[in-house]
């Protein structure tokens, strides 16, 4: 098993994790019911009825 030779610096670690970010879904107002829904997704409120 490989043994780590040196500690990863804060900068290197953060650079590796640049693609890991908080997902904030784009919410748009549903044209039929006015509820907030995710863009390009079926509105769960409209789907229910």
Least spacing, CB of residue 24 vs Zn ion, in Å: 20
Q: Which is nearer to Zn ion, 15 or 34 (CB)?
A: 34
Q: What is the dihedral of CA 25, 29, 33, 34, to 10 degrees?
A: 120
Binding site for Zn ion (CB under 5 A): 30, 32-33, 43, 45-46
Q: Which is nearer to Zn ion, 8 or 44 (CB)?
A: 44
Q: Which is nearer to Zn ion, 16 or 28 (CB)?
A: 28
């Amino acid at each position: 098993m490989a043994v780590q030779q040196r500690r990863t610096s804060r900068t290197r670690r953060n650079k590796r994790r640049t693609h890991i970010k908080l997902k904030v879904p784009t919410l748009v107002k549903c044209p039929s019911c006015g509820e907030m829904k995710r863009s390009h997704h079926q509105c769960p409120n409209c789907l229910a009825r």
